[in-house]
Each structure stands twice: as structure tokens, then as C-alpha cells.
Chain A
């Protein structure tokens, strides 16, 4: 049972993490990003569409699951460009833009999935079959008591996410671009005075947030249902926002928050199973991560500090 909690917990926590890092990039640059849910959904839709087309034309044996992550990431980026255009170029309210992007994504991907299924694959369905993502175990390490679960039967995308974690950490904290990005979220005027284009930096940050959310969405599609369907919109984007807030808008603490959420969820699942609850009560144990969110919110919201210029539209003329 402990083994299962770790395996399922990780396969939930890591996609959540990559979406939360996407959120961190956007918010540290000063753009409130409630659009994560829509971004991950649209990314997963693009990846799912790619897989559906690919498997209908080629043998199912060599489905390019890794390529689907890339496609999902590109899809997320393109959709994020729409969000960035709304709230950076047209200076629309960021909260409203984010909500609009989410609603639009749910409606648009649902509609397109049905239409494409009907017109290209001749089957009335709101799902794209995307196949399974390979899992693996590390010999020897997987047999360690308790901790063995971390090396047992994990998805390979979890490794990719850990690599991305290292890259995004380096980019945000160690490079010029990362420094400019963090400065934009604190005092955009000072960035402007230093001769850096605030809106450009923010636009890039939102694009990165779309790319990462797209990957996270695709991973969820693989780990939860092996297909793309509207069930992808289960609130992971909002949970990612909660995680990055507990993580104080910093990558490593957010990693910890995501692990807590992941394990809370898998533990809730296992507890439900062990108690042999009927499905209506099963839902109750599945609320564990959300109850945890509420509790953590009470304890952490005092000490947390959002980026100072978060949500502030940058206007050169105004001082």
C-alpha cells in the first residue's frame, strides 16, 4: 500500500509541479496567471490530437509519446500567446483574461474533439486515444524498503520533469533573463529605467508558462486516463496555483508543496480502497488534497509574500 501511495503520488505530483513552475514564471514576472487550467488543457488537446492522427496513419507499435509532449508544449505556448496578448498588449485585466482563457479552452477543445472525431475518424466520441506512456523501474534501488517506491514503476515523463525542474531553476535564478523576470514582478519601473523592455520579458514569461503547462497537461492525460477527454479539466491548474502560493513563488518550496498534494491524493485513494467504501463515500476521501489546501492556506497565507507588482499592468507613463 505504501508503495502504491508513493508511485501514484509521484505521478500526480510531478506533472502538477511542472504546471506550478509555469505559474511561477508568469507570476514572478508580474502577470497573475489563473489560466493554467486552460493552458494545460489546450496543450493536452494538441498532444492528444497529434497522437490520434499519428496512430491512425502508422502502426501503433512506435507511437512517439515523447514527441507528443513536445507538441503539447507548443500547443500550450500558442494558447498562452493569446493570454499574453490579452493582458500585456491590450492591457486587459489579468484575472478576467485568465478566467476567459479557461472557459474558452474547455469549450473549444470539447467542441473540436467531437468535430474532429466525427469528420476524420468517423466515430462520435469526445476522446482521443493516446496510448500508454512507458513506465520503468530501477533494479536494486526499487527493492529498498519504504523508499523503494520512488524508484519503482515510474513513468519516464517523471524523469523529463525532473530535468526540466533543473533547467527552469537555473534559468530563473542564475541567468540574466531570470533576473530581469524576477525584477519585473517586483518593480517594473526599475527594470524599465535599466533599459529593459518590461512587456517583452513578461510576454516571454507567459509563453514559458504555457509551454510548461502544456507538458504537465499531457502528462496528466497519460497518467490518469490514457486518453484526452474533458476530464482533463479536473482543477489541476488551480491546485498548481495553490501549490505555488504555499511555495511562496519559489521553485524548491513549490516542489515540496506539490509532493504533499500528490501524496495526500494517493493516500486518500488508498484509504478509500482499504476501507472498501462505496463510490459515493470514496469521493469523500478524495477530497483530502483539497481539505489540505484549505488548512495550509490558513497557516501559510500570513507569512507568504506575493511578488510586489503581481497583477499590475505596466504602463510606461504612470509613475
Chain B
């Protein structure tokens, strides 16, 4: 207790229960002034709950919080802000049709007088925001509208919001879940700049390498319990992973040599426009054989998502040809494609993969409900849905509150993804398209999804994997195509290309004149 004075925040015996779950069980930990403190744990381990308590969104059932040595009761986010605590949420809180400056000052607008009338002074504040942005290397243009800027810039606006409110303790909730590798580097640098300026930073994450890269200390939570507090520099990522999951977890995948068969998917000279009518994919050709995983690597926005959408039939083909098992499907409807053997695991699982307000059983039958035995003489057979769903739940280990009747919205991200994977695999299609299949999932779920993908390959399926994560590409693929600016730069067998070579191709290096 002698060192309690250098803690800026101290949690003492925090317990928080929700119906049926103990989210935090008797957690005590201290965070030092000026450090980067990471909270590591799988989804549902209680990280976000603990931080929500600090930010005044929940009240703890038991326990106390000490801030700068004084006991505080934080009842609302506003009060947290007054105590100079700021939080960047996973879902940004920004007004789309306002400028960056307008968003930052919202709630604390500076005023000036024009002919004696109070007027919100936006122009005069732009420079102040610019200076603040420059100071921490945030690089935003204060007069841009939010609707015109990308995810990474939006996140930096959220950071500026906290800085404008002079927050000293900054909480980042899974800040890199939506970012590309370059953007992640950029953000981690910003976080280091903030630390250099004396801010205290709490980083909620389940990405080990980020924690390893920036954090000083790291607390590991599992099932609501504090497992350990570690010094990051002296702990290996493997140790952290084991503590987080609670069992020996192999970070590498067991994968045998692929035995490619006949080509299943053939894409020839595919050219696509994006939704604004700008040509985004130029003349792309590739083949995927049965029993192989072909992946498209690349930085976000280089056309890879559009290629996947075009194969699945979600966007129109401008020119070129797509064939499945030697049959042309370039202009087939989505339903025809599904029936001729394409499964699709979309990037945005909540918008394109699931109907969130409907029960799990319905979601699992979304692509087969109209066939026998689900539908008999145009009448849906509820018991068939439930039976089928119970079976998939068991087979794929999908966890949910009320089994087949659970409303999908209430399930965790990892289990939602497992449900989509289960549905798509059970269609028994020849081609499976996985787009960012492990985005936002925790390590356990990531391993499960990747293992399923490899199992399907071994069963002779052709698999297209589109991912922004190089680790995923390296550990799963048999062949890799690197896409840059709508063109495939290079195609190579996975064991014949290095990370560095892929990285260079992703940035368009070594691209002659094209």
C-alpha cells in the first residue's frame, strides 16, 4: 500500500453483476500517472465493463474508485469528463453533416458577438484545432465534413474531442479493430505522442502485438476475473495469450500441403466500377482450384472487396467473365449463384450476413428456408428450423443465451460470425468466399474460424480469402495474389513469397509503368 500514491487511478474490489453473468469479480488494480496500461482479454472478459464503470456509464455493485488518491463516485460520462477522463468508443459519436471543428466543440461551443448577438465561433476555432492536431501528429483538416472522411480520420477526431476537453486520462476501446495496418501504425504513434506529453492511457485490446508494441503494463482479464498484471517488456506474447485464454493455445495453425484439383472459379479480365461509377478494378484474372485457399492481400480500398462482391453477385460486372465449374455466371442473379455453389461470408456481418432482430434458427436457414424440408407446400416448418439449428449449434459450437431462439443481436460478435460460417459451410458449396472473416474477433474465435476454413479446403472446396491482415494471409493461404490499385501485382505460392515482398507489392513498389 506504500506505492498507492503514484497511482492516478485505483480500482479497489470492483464487482459488477449483470443478470446471469458476473462481468467484474472483485477486481483491484492501479494505473500509474503517464503510463500506457493495457487491458487484455477475450470478448466478454469484462474489459469494457470495467472501463464503462470508470467512465460513469455503469455503477459498480461493490468496490471503490480512487482518482489521484481521492475516492470518487462517477455517475455519468459528463462527470467523468469533468474529472478529465476521456474515452474513444468503438462506435464513434460524430455528427456526419458537421465539420470536424463543429464536432469537436459540440457542447462547449465558443461564442463571439456579431452586432450584439451571440454567434457560435467556428472559423475562429479552426486554427486552434489545427494547432492541437499538429501538436500530437493527428493530421486532420478542421473544415472537412465528417461524412467525407474515412474511419481512421474519424477516430482521430474523437481523440481531438478528448484533447479539446483537456482530458488527462484517455481510454481507447479496441481502437484498431477497424483500421488497416498502416493506420494502426499511425495510431500507435499518436498514442506514444500522447504519452510523451504526460497523458495516462488505457488501451483495451485483444491484439497482442499492439500491446507488445506500445504498452508499459498489461492486466489480463478472463471471465470477469483479474488473472495477472504483467510488465509487457519482460513477457512474451505467447505467455500473454496463454493467460488470456486460460489454456495452452497454439498461435500457429496445423496445415498440410494443399492438393489442388480442377479449377472451380475462373475470373477473366474482370473490370468493375465502384458505387460512384469510378473504375476501381481493372482487368483482373485469376483461377481458384478445388482444395486450395487463394487469398487476395492488399491495403483496404484497392478493389479486393469489389471483386468478392462481384463474384457473389452483389455488384454488376462492367466487363470480363466469371465462371464457376466451367459455367459462366457473369450475369447470374445472387440466388442462381448460391444454388450453383457459392457461399459468401461478407465483411460486414451485421449488415449483409444476418438479420439481427430475428432468432438464430431463422438466420441459420436464411439461404435454404424456401426448400424442402424447411418449407413444405409453401408453409414454413418451424420444428425443422429448430432441429436444423440445434444441430448446427452443436456442430459449430455457437454459444448463445437461449439456443436456437436467441435473437441474434444479443449474441457476441464471435458467435455471430460462427453462425454465418456454419450456415455458409453447411450449404456445401464448391466455392467459399471469406471476406475479413476474423475482423473484430478474439483469439479463440479467430483460431476456430481459420481452422474451419482449412478443414473445408481439405474437403476439396475452393476458397477465396480476402483479408487486410497479413498474418491471416500468411498463415492460411496456399496461393497469394497481391492487389494494388485495382490490379493484381503478383501471384505466388504462399511458401515462395516473403512478408516483405507482399508488403512491397501491396504498396505498389516494383510495379513497372503500370
A176 interface residue (CB < 8 Å to B): yes
Interface of A is mostly: helix
Query: Could you mark each residue 161-198 of chain A with 1 if its beta carbon is under 8 Å from any beta carbon of chain B, else 0?
Result: 00000000010001110011011001101110111100
List residues of chain B with CB within 8 A of the CB of A194: 93, 106-108
Q: Do the beta carbons of A195 and B93 come within 8 Å of each other?
A: no
Q: With A and B bound together, what is the CA distance between A170 and B117 in angstroms? A: 10
A273 interface residue (CB < 8 Å to B): no
Question: How far apart are A106's CB and chain B's nearest CB, in angstroms?
Answer: 36
Q: Do the beta carbons of A308 and B96 come within 8 Å of each other?
A: yes
B305 interface residue (CB < 8 Å to A): no
State which of A175, A195, A319 has its C-beta within 8 Å of the C-beta of B118.
Answer: A175
List residues of chain B with CB within 8 A of the CB of A319: 91
State which of B81, B91, B96, B111 has its C-beta within 8 Å of the C-beta of A176.
Answer: B111
State which of A170, A179, A187, A195 has its C-beta within 8 Å of the C-beta of B96.
Answer: A187
Question: How far apart are B504's CB and chain A's nearest CB, in angstroms?
Answer: 40
List residues of chain A with CB within 8 A of the CB of B97: 182, 186, 308
State which of B106, B117, B118, B119 has its C-beta within 8 Å of the C-beta of A183.
Answer: B106
Query: Could you mark each residue 68-99 of chain B with 1 if its beta carbon is under 8 Å from any beta carbon of chain A, else 0?
Result: 00000000011001000000000101111110
Q: With A and B bound together, what is the CA distance between A170 and B118 in angstroms? A: 10
List residues of chain B with CB within 8 A of the CB of A190: 93-95, 103, 106
> Which A-chain residue is minimally distant from B110 (CB atoms)?
A176
Question: How far apart are B81's CB and chain A's nearest CB, in angstroms?
Answer: 7
Q: With A and B bound together, what is the CA distance between A187 and B91 in angstroms? A: 12
Query: Could you mark each residue 94-133 of chain B with 1 if its beta carbon is under 8 Å from any beta carbon of chain A, else 0?
Result: 1111100011001111010010011110000000000000
Q: Do the beta carbons of A179 and B119 come within 8 Å of each other?
A: no
Q: Do the beta carbons of A189 and B118 come within 8 Å of each other?
A: no
List residues of chain A with CB within 8 A of the CB of B77: 193, 195
Q: With A and B bound together, what is the CA distance between A182 and B106 in angstroms? A: 11
User: Which range contains the number of B residues in contact with the other chain?
Assistant: 20 to 34
> Which B-chain residue is minimally distant from A189 (CB atoms)?
B93
- Number of A residues near B (Cβ < 8 Å) is 19
Q: With A and B bound together, what is the CA distance between A191 and B95 in angstroms? A: 8
List residues of chain B with CB within 8 A of the CB of A175: 118-120
Q: Do the beta carbons of A176 and B78 come within 8 Å of each other?
A: no
Q: Known contacts A186-B98, A195-B78, A195-B107; is A179 also within 8 Å of B120 by CB?
A: yes
Q: Do the beta carbons of B94 and A174 come within 8 Å of each other?
A: no
List residues of chain A with CB within 8 A of the CB of B107: 191, 194-196
Q: With A and B bound together, what is the CA distance between A195 and B106 in angstroms? A: 9
List residues of chain A with CB within 8 A of the CB of B78: 195
State which of A170, A183, A186, A195 has its C-beta within 8 Å of the C-beta of B81.
Answer: A195
Q: Known contacts A175-B120, A176-B109; is A193 also within 8 Å of B98 by CB?
A: no
List residues of chain B with CB within 8 A of the CB of A186: 95-98
Interface centre among A186, A191, A196, A319 (most CB of B within 10 A): A186
Q: Do the beta carbons of A179 and B93 come within 8 Å of each other?
A: no
Question: How far apart are B86's CB and chain A's nearest CB, in angstroms?
Answer: 11
Q: Do the beta carbons of B95 and A187 come within 8 Å of each other?
A: yes
Q: Do the beta carbons of B93 and A176 come within 8 Å of each other?
A: no
Q: Do the beta carbons of B106 and A174 come within 8 Å of each other?
A: no
List residues of chain B with CB within 8 A of the CB of A187: 93-96
List residues of chain A with CB within 8 A of the CB of B98: 179, 182-183, 186
List residues of chain B with CB within 8 A of the CB of A189: 93
Question: How far apart are A186's CB and chain B's nearest CB, in angstroms?
Answer: 5
Q: With A and B bound together, what is the CA distance between A115 and B119 in angstroms? A: 48
Q: With A and B bound together, what is the CA distance between A195 and B119 in angstroms? A: 20
Question: How far apart are A209's CB and chain B's nearest CB, in angstroms?
Answer: 20
State which of A170, A191, A308 has its C-beta within 8 Å of the C-beta of B106.
Answer: A191
Q: Do the beta carbons of B91 and A179 come within 8 Å of each other?
A: no
Q: With A and B bound together, what is the CA distance between A176 and B108 in angstroms? A: 9
Q: Known contacts A175-B118, A176-B109; is A183 also within 8 Å of B95 by CB?
A: yes
Q: Do the beta carbons of B119 and A174 come within 8 Å of each other?
A: yes
Q: With A and B bound together, what is the CA distance between A191 and B106 in angstroms? A: 7
Question: How far apart are B33's CB and chain A's nearest CB, in angstroms?
Answer: 26
Query: Could you mark each residue 50-81 of chain B with 1 if its beta carbon is under 8 Å from any beta carbon of chain A, else 0?
Result: 00000000000000000000000000011001
Q: With A and B bound together, what is the CA distance between A191 and B109 in angstroms? A: 13
Q: Do the beta carbons of A179 and B117 come within 8 Å of each other?
A: no
Q: With A and B bound together, what is the CA distance between A195 and B78 in angstroms? A: 6
> Which A-chain residue is minimally distant from B106 (CB atoms)?
A194
State which of A176, A193, A195 has its C-beta within 8 Å of the C-beta of B120.
Answer: A176
> Which B-chain residue is minimally distant from A191 (CB atoms)?
B106
List residues of chain A with CB within 8 A of the CB of B94: 187, 190
List residues of chain A with CB within 8 A of the CB of B91: 319
Q: Do the beta carbons of A174 and B103 come within 8 Å of each other?
A: no
Question: How far apart are A27's CB and chain B's nearest CB, in angstroms?
Answer: 13
List residues of chain B with CB within 8 A of the CB of A170: 117
List residues of chain B with CB within 8 A of the CB of A183: 95, 98, 106
List residues of chain A with CB within 8 A of the CB of B108: 194
List residues of chain A with CB within 8 A of the CB of B114: 174
State which of A179, A182, A193, A308 has its C-beta within 8 Å of the C-beta of B109.
Answer: A179
Q: With A and B bound together, what is the CA distance between A317 and B98 in angstroms? A: 24
Question: How far apart are A272's CB and chain B's nearest CB, in angstroms?
Answer: 42
Given contacts A175-B120, A195-B78, 11 further A-B contacts (CB under 8 A): A170-B117, A176-B109, A176-B118, A179-B98, A179-B102, A182-B95, A182-B97, A187-B96, A190-B103, A191-B106, A195-B107
- A and B contact pairs by CB, cutoff 8 A, 10 listed: A174-B114, A175-B118, A180-B106, A183-B106, A186-B95, A186-B97, A186-B98, A194-B106, A195-B81, A308-B97
Q: Which 4 A-B pairs have the closest CB atoms?
A: A194-B107, A190-B93, A195-B78, A193-B93
